[in-house]
Amino acid sequence: MANKYDLIVIGSGPGGYVAAIRASQLGKKVAVVEKAEIGGICLNWGCIPTKALLKSASVFEYISHAENYGITVKDSKADFGGMIKRSRGVADTMSKGVQFLLKKNKIDQLLGFGKVAANKTVTVTADGKTESYAADNIIIATGGRSRELPNLPIDGKKIIGYREAMSLPKQPKKMVIVGSGAIGVEFAYFYNSIGTEVTIVEYMPNIVPVEDEDISKQLLRSFKKQGMNIMTEAEVTSVDTKGTGCKVTVKTKKGEEQIECDIVLSAVGVSTNIEGIGLEDVGVMTDRGKIVVDDYYKTNIPGIYAIGDIVHGPALAHVSSAEAIICVEKMCGESPEPLDYGNIPGCTYCTPEIASVGMTEKAAKEAGYEIKVGKFPFSASGKAQAGGNSEGFVKVIFDAKYGEWLGCHLIGAGVTDMIAEAVVARKLETTGHEIMKAIHPHPTMSEAIKDAVEDAYGEAIHL
């Protein structure tokens, strides 16, 4: 049969294309089904283009504060359209890169809407025409989209999701952002830095509520210093879009408040793309909007697997890629370890950046650990001071009894590039004493991790 494959992957995001390439490396005949752009949401409308926008914002901020570095720059201004254009160009370049990788690995690209059908077949519909393809194995990697609240329906014009937020036709003067997770605070930083008046509305007591409380408090201080209006323990109950702008009604502890703005960005999480892809037809089990899988991403139907945002675990690109490799290697008869979901790093790319892995201080205490906590402020870092980036700190948490590195939490310039040290160290079951004895180069931002560990063990030199 001409349309027969060893593996068909539905979705070409950071889970799907990685699964396809790894399977090809292991000698399998593979096809990828994609209904939109190759590379998926992360590459085209998520991780990559947002980082391009954030880079433009940080460059503009540097120029705006050039006098702090002994440089005079006159008449600089943010070109919103130019920033959007650059962001889309970066995404397009990366998408073409993934297309090249798929071709290099002899993976067929089937463009259209993929749907699982009986007898291990996948139907692909494009331009009103449907083709069927058979496979020994199928991986579903269809990802997610902006979650919608009942009282905050996304219309794509005045109430928008992350996709529209990175391609608006003009810069809004005022914006209300609902939700302060990674998506919310990244866009808050971007728009605020180029002159939009930004209000963040967060239902929980702290912004970035999944982070350690010390991190949340520092980001709150930083954002307020940048001029943002932050409302915590607050809820958007309605948005009136009848006029030229939006009238946002916010319920707070003090009562209701109304905010006028041009655009409302809903950043309240991600919903899974599992509707209409044939799960019910073939009997794949789901639970609360996620596909049920085992440790190696098998569903209850033999030969059908699922990875990424549509299964348990955090909806992160690097998690999807790790799941893809584990799934494919197990499928091909190898013996990969199950993914350790307790050692997944999280990164948020606002300014200051946030990076974390493992337990927060509160979670460690609630788990019954006797802990050692160390902190090192970037205000005491020579590299941070020289770079003009002294906001933030490194915080480490260790088990006092056995020295296990329970958690690492950073906020500051470039910390998303520093967190991997803690991830690898925790994977290798490294203790605090080993970190202290490992030479860290000076002057660097990364030596703050060593300094924080020294603080935890009462051996701080630079505090």
| Residues 177 and 264 both lie in one domain | yes
Buried b (16+ CB within 10 A) or exposed e, 280-299: eebebebeeebbebeebbbb
Threshold 0.85, pTM exceeds? yes
Task: Tell me, yes or no, whether 463 lies in a domain.
Answer: no
Residues 230, 275 within the same domain: no
Q: What is the pLDDT of residues 64-114, one digit of tens each?
A: 999 999 999 998 999 999 999 999 999 999 999 999 999 999 999 999 999
Residues 288 and 409 both lie in one domain = no
CATH number of the domain at 300, please: 3.50.50.60
185: which residues sit within 8 A by CB, 6+ positions away? 200, 207, 208, 219, 223, 348, 350
- Is 65 annotated as catalytic? no
CA-wise closest residue to 43 among 13, 87, 22: 13
Instruction: Tell me the per-residue pLDDT of 243-262, one tens digit each, with 9 for 90 and over.
Output: 899 999 999 999 999 999 99
How many domains is the chain built from?
Answer: 3
Q: Say if residue 275's pLDDT is above 90.
A: yes
Rounded Cα distance, 310 and 424, in Å: 26
In a domain, 461, yes or no: no
Residues 417 and 305 both lie in one domain = no
Choose, from 65, 409, 442, 462, the residue flagged as catalytic: 442
Q: What is the DSSP letter of 404?
A: B
Using the predicted structure, report yes or no on whether residue 1 has a pLDDT greater than 50.
no
Give the pLDDT confidence score for residue 2 in this predicted structure: 58
Q: Are residues 277 and 259 in the same domain?
A: no
CA separation for the pair 70, 206 (Å, rounded)? 37
Residues 188 and 65 reside in one and the same domain: no
Q: Is residue 71 located within the same domain as residue 116?
A: yes
pLDDT (tens digit, 9 = 90+) per residue, 128-172? 999 999 999 999 999 999 888 888 999 999 999 999 999 999 999
* Residues 229 and 264 reside in one and the same domain: yes
For 16-19, which contacts have Cβ atoms below 8 Å and span 24 or more sequence positions?
16/40, 16/139, 16/141, 16/307, 16/308, 16/324, 17/98, 17/101, 17/102, 18/320, 18/321, 18/324, 18/325, 19/139, 19/141, 19/307, 19/324, 19/325, 19/327, 19/328
Please, what is the end-to-end C-alpha distance for the chain in angstroms?
70
pLDDT band, residue 269 (cuts 50/70/90): confident
Q: Which two structure tokens, joined as six digits, stand for 418?
A: 């520093």
Mean pLDDT of all residues in 382-407: 96
Q: Which residue among 314, 341, 368 closes a domain?
A: 341
Q: Please give the residue range of the domain that contains residue 124.
A: 4-145+271-341
Distances (CA, A) of 171 to 56, 67, 153, 168: 14, 26, 21, 7
248 and 166 part of one domain: yes
pLDDT tens, position by position, 323-380: 999 999 999 999 999 999 999 999 999 999 999 999 999 999 999 999 999 999 999 9
Q: What are the pLDDT digits (tens) for 26-45?
A: 999 999 999 999 998 888 88
The residue from 268, 298, 320 where one domain ends is: 268
The pLDDT value recorded for residue 3 is 79
What local confidence, expressed as pLDDT, does residue 137 receive?
98
Of the three residues 268, 284, 301, the one that is the final residue of a domain is 268
User: Are 249 and 100 contained in the same domain?
Assistant: no
Has residue 14 been placed in a domain? yes
Same domain, yes or no: 264 and 280? no
Per residue in 142-151, pLDDT tens? 999 988 888 8
Residue 346 lies in a domain: no
Residue 200 placed within a domain:
yes
115 and 217 inside one domain: no
Q: What is the pLDDT of residue 46?
A: 87
Residue 321 lies in a domain: yes
Asked whether residue 429 is domain-assigned, the answer is yes
In a domain, 412, yes or no: yes
Percentage of the chain beyond pLDDT 70 is 100
Mean pLDDT, residues 59-65: 94
CATH number, domain with residue 431: 3.30.390.30
